[in-house]
Structure 1
Amino acid sequence: MLLVVVAGAAAVLVPWTVFLSATLPTRYDTGLWRWSWVGFDVALVGCFAAAAWLGWRRRRAAVTLMTFTAAMLCCDAWFDVTLGWGSPGHWSAVALAVLVELPVAGLLLARAHVLLTGGMVRREFTVADIELHTRPEYQRLQEALATTEPATTEELADALSCPADELSPMLDRLLRAERLRRGRDGRWRRVPQSLMPPALERLSEADQARLRAFYDEKYDYELRLFDWAVRHRDEFGSWAQGSRGNAHLTEAELAEFNAEYEGMFTRYCLLRSSPAPGTRHITVRWYAFPTPEHPLTAPAHAPQQTSRVAREPEQ
């Protein structure tokens, strides 16, 4: 229904715009000229402040507010230029629009896109990543960096009680793998990443075997982790949350659902990348798959306009 209203509004605005272009006067005097612009700028300042606070907190509302603020800046640029055209300051209005207002609007839209998509590097998991995930020394290094970043090589060496020259090759390898970045001050910082399973058919048989073995061990760990969580569920209290449900989804709808989940989870990951007072290290899992009663080999149901969802709380 909302889409019908939006499409209808677009259709109605066309003749309305034509009517205004033919009937509005070329000049008009108003008694509230100053307050119109002051009120607009006060609203713009409020939007900037609210967008900055929401963006800092990585709230979803920041995306809407940043987009709205960008639209207000475009309106500000339009009216500054058109209403001041022919006046002594019209070239300064053009310069302000081109050099400040429109670029800032574009920056806000770009930042809104980053907040919407998470701003996290996404790439495929490779055979080279297996060693970084399985060798204990790399795990200890990344754990130390999580609590000390930004840190120099010497500070990391002190935290791990090992010589700095032993850490340098490891840090360089993590840098080449885009797991770390080094600032101009020489301090190391982690680079948040989202590693996607690779398409095995593109790999050699040897690499396929290594990746299958890695993921088999990984899923075995997942099963043991869930078994541990079930046996200790009464100890978690409010620190454990979950839900389960069933839905009739198309493949495209499932992919969209997964993308929305990843975006939401990524925002929370980037909200606080290091331990802080009042936080705990939380492990989060989300799986969706065909049920045994409806395997992939079963005939697909006819396409539906909406998805039916049955959801129940996790016990």
Structure 2
Amino acid sequence: MTQPTCVHAAASTFRRAATVLTVLGLAMIPWLVFLHAELPATAVASHWSLAWTGLDGFEALGLLSTGLLLRRDDRRACLTAAATSALLLVDAWFDTMTAAPGPDCRLAVLMAAFAELPLAVACAVLATRTVARR
């Protein structure tokens, strides 16, 4: 028995998307080398506080929406949990990489180790378990 046309078309689309994404990921490697070699060691950001407030705001929105979706047993909670996990990982990375030496750096490492990274792992586990039960 042959597969319906729509199933075959979807599989073909996913294979093409997989190929395009793989090629794009590989194409970024030279770009990463260039950035590492050419970017200045320091930079001044005009909207520093707004950038950090925005990132933390998106994390709060992700946590809130994931919690509310879970309460409603909505399967989209796996999506918000995955996105929130990624945001928390980005926050931990940039907190630790941009912190000034000394107390700021120690605080960033402590926040990453005891708040952001454990919460990111919890959200990732929640995302995989939520999608698996559907």
RMSD value, Cα: 1.3
Structure with more helix by fraction:
2
Q: Which amino acid aligns with 2:39?
A: L
Aligned ranges 1:24-103 → 2 under 5 Å: 24-103=39-118
The answer to whether the Cα contact below 8 Å between 1:58 and 1:115 also exists between their aligned partners in 2 is no
In structure 2, the gaps of 5 or more residues are 1-15
TM-score (norm 2): 0.83
Could you list the per-position Cα deviations for residues 129-186 of structure 1 after superposition, in whole angstroms to 9, with x for gaps in the alignment?
xxxxxxxxxxxxxxxxxxxxxxxxxxxxxxxxxxxxxxxxxxxxxxxxxxxxxxxxxx
Note if 1:108 corresponds to 2:123.
yes
Structure showing greater radius of gyration is 1
In structure 1, the gaps of 5 or more residues are 119-263, 265-315
Could you say what secondary structure the match of 2:46 adopts?
coil
Note if 1:19 corresponds to 2:34.
yes
Q: Which amino acid aligns with 1:77?
A: A
The answer to whether the Cα contact below 8 Å between 1:81 and 1:97 also exists between their aligned partners in 2 is yes
1:249 aligned partner: none
Matching residue within 20, 23, 27 for 1:8? 23
Aligned ranges 1:116-195 → 2 under 5 Å: 116-118=131-133
Query: What is the alpha-carbon distance in structure 2 between the residues aligned to residue 27 and residue 15 of structure 1?
Result: 22
TM-score (norm 1): 0.36
Q: Which amino acid aligns with 1:9?
A: L
Structure with more strand by fraction:
1
Which of the pair has the greater relative contact order for Cα pairs under 8 Å at 6+ separation?
A: 2
Question: 1:43 Cα shift?
Answer: 1.3
Question: 1:40 Cα shift?
Answer: 1.1
Q: Which amino acid aligns with 1:110?
A: V
